[in-house]
Amino acid sequence: VVSRLVSVAVPVPTLGALTYSIPDAMPIPPPGARVVVPLGPRTLTGIVTGLASATPHFKVRDVHRVIDADAFVPPDVVALTEWVAKYYLAGPGAALAAALPPRALTGRVSHFKTSRVAALTAAGRDAADRLAALPRGVDVRAADLPVRLRRSRGRTGTVPGEAEPHPTGCAGLPRSLASLGARQREALRVLASAARGLATSVLSERGVPAATLTRLSALGLVALRDEQVERDPFWRAALASPEDEPGREPTEAQRAALDHLVPWAWRRTFHVALVHGVTGSGKTEVYLRLADAVRRSGRGVLVLVPEIALTPQVAALFRGRFGAAVAIQHSGLSMGERHDQWHRIRRGDVDIVIGTRSAVFAPLARVGLIIVDEEHDASYKQEEIPRYHARDVAVMRGKLASALVVLGSATPTLESYANAQAGRYSLVTLDRRVLERPLARVDVVNMRDEIAAEGPDVVLSRAVRAALAARLERGEQALVLLNRRGFAAAVFCRQCGASVDCPNCSVALTVHTGGSRFRPAAQGARGATPARAETRAGGPGRGDPGWRARCHYCNYAADVPRTCPVCAAPYMTQVGVGTERVEAEIRAAFPHARVARVDRDAVRRKGSLVRTLSRVARKDLDILIGTQMIAKGHDFPDVTLVGVISADGGLGLPDFRAAERTFQLLTQVAGRAGRGERAGEAIIQSLVPHHYSIQLARTQDYRVFFEKEMDFRRAMRYPPHVAMVNVVVRGRSLSEAMTRARALAELLRSRRGFVVLGPAPAPLVRLRGEHRAQFFLKGTSRNAMREALEAALTARADLARHATVDVDPQTVL
DNA sequence: AGCACGCCGACT
DNA sequence: GTCGGCGTGCTC
């Protein structure tokens, strides 16, 4: 008797693969096919992961329906998600969900999204033609335009607004083209070039709001219809058209890199290469040529980038070089767009996929090359279940597909560089910038000296102010980095010392200027402390609606109190500088400079980041202030100065990667300077200027940093010297969390192959109202840790529900 | 994740 | 006296 049992992964985070039977009347679905199954009182869609052989000791239920005769998710991607589920101790359903477009399983059965499309009607086309025929700037008079429009009689169920061209220029026209506003005319002009119409979302990005279309529709000039369209996610990457020079010969270093990498790609065996190329060394050109070679050999290429919205250049370059053969996957796309792209890939319409971390699961066939650009970037780690690291998943996918995996960075993670040193990866080094452009000179300013000279409130050092002034004078651009958003980091009482904390989390609230136009009174001259924030002195907190205290973890917000909530003293003082404060200082110091800010608050609106970045590219901005967002791989040739307001933010954190993060950030941001013809300069402000991560970023000496940091990790037994797992346990009180954590840790301590450290209260001891305790597993055997954890979490499901397991944690807060 | 069951506060 | 809060358990 042939087994008619299948394993099905269901979109339920904590559940393993479940066994169902296939009724005789149905064909056995292959791995990757979707099936509709009953689960308790529910009915949901799952993915077949394979045949189930065992004779179960529970009653097996029938599959309701087999949706796909063939794999919906490619079988190798199913295998990859099974590996992810195991490695990261997530349920197979959760891992599979990461590989599917959003709501593929949980949404409605219909997977098709429609777009509202606007197109010109006959009358609209007529009107657009007439408008186009008019010379620009001519005042349009009603009498010249014999188009008559009448309002809909409003019969229900019909398209409102029929228009009819009037035979002659007749008097008494109720409406005419002359009455069309500028927006409406613009809409007609834009639509005239799109015979089949344009999606309203596209139109709104081009400055035609939906209201205008509704109005034109009522006038009968535009017809609105709902249509299933192939959405083009590239329209939003308006920055696009970076200067691509495909004809240019690769540099000698690029040639050498390709001579090493291309043969590996031909070999069709699994191999990992680390490309360590300094900022501006032309890694992207290597990727493009390598991708071209692999694509020509009939195999697929997967390109992972940290965040497309931040670095649209790489995607745009690939799109420019390879055109429609490229698909894009990232979180900035609408659900419909992501869905479309996923299906394009699955159908085999493309052979190159570019995307953020989730694209590592793209349903691309015959993968021959996987590129992980900026492999050090923290955004490759997903901080929700399944807590996978896309770089590591990429390596595993390469292994399963016998593909070449290329990891690229100017500041590789210790993990990757250690693998290269150990010979597990090959190492390709590009240690010069293209065209022999020098790396930026980096200076470190000791802020203690500045404080001594200028007072405790100094934000911009004399060196940074002078350098900014020089850039403005020369018409060059500057980036100013501070990796902390908001205006001030905390508010505290100078009488009793109490700080204003989040009621739900164990953190101080951050002061924001709020969404209002309000700018802090920054009337000070050079060296003044424009936004010195004391409530009694007219700073924030005097009931000004612009000032808010916000929690960056749970979004709690309150007005900044003017008196101390504890002792009622009116001496609330702000401490710690954020990007909003930096912006205020710079605007005060350079009132004529064109300044913009980029951080998560400033770019909340869709497209505003792209707009700001393109303003930099167009030289429409002099100074760009921002968080690490501005440190990513941008290529702005006229930026000759990078200022770092404080390099110290990360160094105080109780995180063993603090130094590595600081070194990476400083090296990367310094790499934004001097990429064009003029040399660049970076100035780093710090209270601990002699810290090795700062000093080695100054000399931009990766190798020395690597050796030094590896020594530290070895001595302290931290990754990559050992493997680590972090377990966070939650409870209503800290003692409850600690009790649970102790019980779980005790179950693990009896095992061999690793050690258990803790439990202890987590650094963020309270988060969103929950108390948190944590412990670590450290050891050389991931298998031992995984098996022990699986056993412990299964044995104590009551504890497991309050525990979160993070394998290879990137942050231990 | 849902959805049910099951015990403790403020209302018809 | 009930409605409903979410803690706990279960889903092939």
Query: Which nucleotide lies closest to A58 by the C1' atom and the CA atom?
Result: C12
Token readout for A596 is 């913009």
Residue–nucleotide distance: A559 CA to C3 C1' (Å): 36
CB A706 within 8 A of CB A414: yes
Place of tokens 């061999």: A752
pLDDT confidence of residue A796: 86
Q: Which of A65-79, A276-290, A322-336, A340-354 has the lowest mean pLDDT?
A: A322-336
State percent of chain A over pLDDT 90. 49
d(CA A692, CA A429): 23
Q: What is the 3-state secondary structure (H, E, C) of A213-252?
A: HHHHHHHCCEEEEEECCCCCHHHHCCCCCCCCCCCCCCCH
Q: Return the pLDDT at A453.
A: 92
Residue A430's CB is within 10 A of a number of other CB atoms, namely 22
Give the Cα-Cα-Cα angle A548, A554, A560 (nearest 5 degrees): 20
Q: How far is the CA of A243 from the C1' of B11 (A)?
A: 69
Task: Give, in Å, how far the C1' of C7 lies from the CA of A698.
Answer: 54
Cα–Cα distance, A73 to A372 (Å, whole number): 22
> What single-letter amino acid sits at A733?
S
Q: State the pLDDT confidence band at A142, using cuts at 50, 70 and 90.
A: very low
Which residue type, as a one-letter code, is found at position A789?
L
Give the DSSP letter string of A106-133.
TS-S-----EEEEEE-HHHHHHHHHHHH
Q: What is the mean pLDDT of residues A290-300?
A: 95
Tokens 């702005």 found at: A636
Q: Which nucleotides of B are covered by protein (CB under 7 A)?
A: 1-4
Q: Please indicate whether residue A562 or residue A1 has the higher confidence score (pLDDT).
A: A562
Q: What is the mean pLDDT of residues A507-529?
A: 55
Query: Distance in angstroms, CA of A41 to C1' of B12?
Result: 32
CB contact set of A407 (below 8 Å; sequence gap of 6+): A272, A273, A274, A275, A372, A375, A391, A416, A425
For A40 and C10, how far is CA from C1' in angstroms?
Answer: 8
Mean pLDDT of chain A: 83
Strands A115-120, A222-227: pairing is antiparallel
d(CA A694, CA A686): 8
Q: HSE of A91 in the Cβ direction (CA atoms, 13 Å)?
A: 18
| Å between CA of A803 and C1' of C5 | 23
Query: What is the crossing angle of helices A210-219 and A182-192, to 10°?
Result: 80
Max avg pLDDT among A330-334, A364-368, A431-435, A604-608: A364-368
Confidence of residue A577 (pLDDT cuts 50, 70, 90): very high
SS3 content of chain A, % helix, strand, coil (to 5): 35, 20, 45
Dig out the tokens for A613 from the structure. 């970045």
- CA pair distance A253, A250, nearest whole angstrom: 8
| CA of residue A90 relative to chain centroid, distance | 22
Sign of CA dihedral A202, A208, A209, A215: negative
Nucleotide nearest to A20 (CA to C1'): C12
Report DSSP state, residue A28. P
CA of A65 to C1' of B1 (A): 22
How many Å apart are CA A207 and CA A335, to the nearest integer? 22
Confidence of residue A107 (pLDDT cuts 50, 70, 90): low
What is the rounded CA–CA span in Å between residue A726 and residue A654? 14
Which residues, by CB, come closer than 7 Å to strand B?
A: A 12-15, 40-42, 106
User: Which of A721, A728, A771, A105 is closest to A387 using CA atoms?
Assistant: A728
Provide the CA A555 to C1' C6 distance, Å, integer. 22
d(CA A387, CA A380): 10
Report d(CA A366, CA A371) in Å as an integer: 15
Sign for the CA dihedral angle at A183, A189, A190, A196 comes to positive
Pick the more confident residue, A359 or A175. Answer: A359
A97 pLDDT higher than 90? no
Residues A638-696 pLDDT 10s: 899 999 999 998 888 889 999 999 999 999 988 888 888 888 899 999 999 999 999 99
pLDDT value for A160: 31
- In degrees, rounded to 5, the angle at the alpha carbon of residue A15 between the alpha carbons of residues A13 and A20 is 130
Euclidean distance between CA atoms A490 and A506, whole angstroms? 13
Beta bridge partners of A226: A116
Contacts of A735 (CB under 8 A, 6+ apart): none
| Res. A728: pLDDT tops 50 | yes
Name the residue with the least CA to C1' distance from nucleotide C9.
Answer: A798
Q: Per-residue pLDDT for A89 more than 80?
A: yes
Query: Picking from A216-220, A281-285, A740-744, which range would have the lowest pLDDT averaged per residue?
Result: A216-220
Strand A770-779 with A426-430, pairing: unpaired
pTM for the model: 0.81
CA A169 to chain centre: 57
Residue A529 or residue A640, greater confidence:
A640
The whole-number pLDDT of residue A149 equals 37
**Pairing of β A681-686 and β A441-446:** parallel
| Distance in angstroms (rounded) separating the CA atoms of residues A668 and A644 | 12
Confidence category of residue A716, pLDDT binned at 50, 70, 90: very high
What average pLDDT score do residues A129-134 get? 74
Q: Does residue A92 have a pLDDT over 50?
A: yes
**Average pLDDT, stretch A434-461?**
89
Can the peptide bond before residue A540 be classed as cis, meaning omega within 30 degrees of 0? no
Span between the terminal Cα atoms of chain A, in Å: 54
Mean pLDDT of A311-322: 85
- Around Cβ A500, how many Cβ atoms within 10 Å? 22
The more confidently predicted of residues A645 and A633 is: A645
Q: Which two tokens stand for residue A360?
A: 């590592």
Continuous segment of H or E residues that includes residue A797: helix A797-800
Q: How many helices (H) and strands (E) does chain A have?
A: 22, 33
At residue A111, does pLDDT exceed 60?
no
Q: Which of A471, A467, A414, A469 is nearest to A442 (CA)?
A: A467
Question: Which amino acid residue lies closest to nucleotide C11, measuring CA to C1'?
Answer: A40
Q: Which nucleotide is nearest to A39 (CA to C1')?
A: C11
Which protein residue lies nearest to nucleotide B1, measured between its Cα and the C1' atom?
A: A12
The whole-angstrom separation of Cα A616 and Cα A470 is 18
pLDDT at residue A253 tops 70? yes
Is the predicted pLDDT of residue A543 greater than 90, yes or no? no
pLDDT of A356 > 70? The answer is yes
When pLDDT is averaged across residues A792-802 and rounded to a whole number, the result is 87
CA–C1' nearest nucleotide, residue A385 = B1
The token duo for A778 is 């450290």
